[in-house]
Amino acid sequence: MLFGFREERYKQAMRIATYNVNSIRARKERLLAWLARHEIEVVCLQELKVEDSAFPREEIEALGYHAAFHGQKTYNGVAILSRAPLEDVSIAMDDAVDDSHARLIAATTYGIRVISAYFPNGGSIDSEKYPYKLKWMARLREELVRSMQRYPIPHALCGDFNVAPFEDDVARPQEFEGGVLANDEVRAALRAIADVGLVDVFRPFHPQGGVYSWWDYRGGGFERGNGLRIDHIYASPELAARCIGAIVDREERRGTAPSDHAPVVAEFDWWVD
């Protein structure tokens, strides 16, 4: 059981979550209630959809979190919340590409280099957004190489990857396979990212697949079980080896005004004072 209590043997545990809130303005009360209800040390957020001045910093800090955020109007926007200080915060990628999308923020906390990422959706295969997605993923790979050189500590790449790694991460392959979220090309790009030294901490706890993190609002996706697993926590091997559980908190996709994503939460036998 991941939520509700900490087993004695796991009292050294810490939790890391990733949650695409689809507007922090629209999700603020839900998010604050969720943060207050659970003990989660590090929370990566995506799709804030607000400029930094509208980020609810005070309310989040009142719950005992430090917050680093990188927002923009209407689109994108990412944040990292931590119950420990956030050091060496960096936004965007340290490359020469001119890219105004607020899709990446990184910080060091609990001795881990935590990265909150909102991968491009890609629109449709024949849109201009799809090559941007592939290029962005290739750039992220190089950014991770640089980050691992600069910060020789375990990394956790968390976010809405907009990629379902396997066909059994897709409820209805006939509907989604070959699209921007589930095709050979984006899966190869994701493997290239993982090849720098990151592993999916969630999948080993759900080897049968069929566990999803996003359901389209349209067509009653959640009610019909028509989901995809596109939100992920990838970690360096030494951190991944200490993962002791991972879930999708489907409760956050139910009830009044949910995001179209549910949070993914992983627990680690890991603590740094």
Kindly state the smallest distance separating residue 138's Cβ from DNA, in Å.
18
Nearer to DNA, 15 or 253 (CB): 253
Q: Which is nearer to DNA, 242 or 253 (CB)?
A: 253
Active-site entry in 19, 65, 110, 118: 118
Q: Is 41 or 260 the residue whose CB approaches DNA more closely?
A: 260
Shortest CB 74 distance to DNA, Å = 4
Min separation Cβ 160 and DNA, Å:
8
Residues 6+ apart with CB under 8 A from 106: 80, 88, 89, 90, 91, 113, 114, 115, 116, 147
Residue ranges binding DNA (CB under 7 A): 22-23, 25-27, 49-50, 73-75, 120-121, 123, 129, 217-220, 257, 259
CB of 206 to DNA, least distance (A): 23
Q: Is 160 a catalytic residue?
A: yes
Least distance CB 7 / DNA (angstroms): 35
If the CB atoms of residues 27 and 155 are measured against DNA, the closer one turns out to be: 27
Nearer to DNA by Cβ, of 78 and 201: the residue is: 78
Q: Are 42 and 18 in contact (CB under 8 A)?
A: no
Q: Which residues is 46 bridged to in the sheet?
A: 20, 78
Residue for token digits 């959809």? Answer: 49
Catalytic residue among 160, 200, 249, 260: 160
Rounded to whole angstroms, how far apart are CA atoms 241 and 244?
8
Q: Helices marked H in the chain — which ranges?
A: 24-37, 57-62, 129-150, 173-176, 184-194, 237-240
The question of whether 118 is a catalytic residue gets the answer yes
Determine contact, residues 100/72, Cβ cutoff 8 Å: yes
Distant-in-sequence, close-in-space partners of 58: CB < 8 Å, separation ≥ 6: none
Task: Please give the Cα distance from 69 to 49 (Å, whole number).
Answer: 11
Nearest to 121 by CA among 101, 94, 100, 99: 101
Q: Would you name the residues annotated as active-site residues?
A: 118, 160
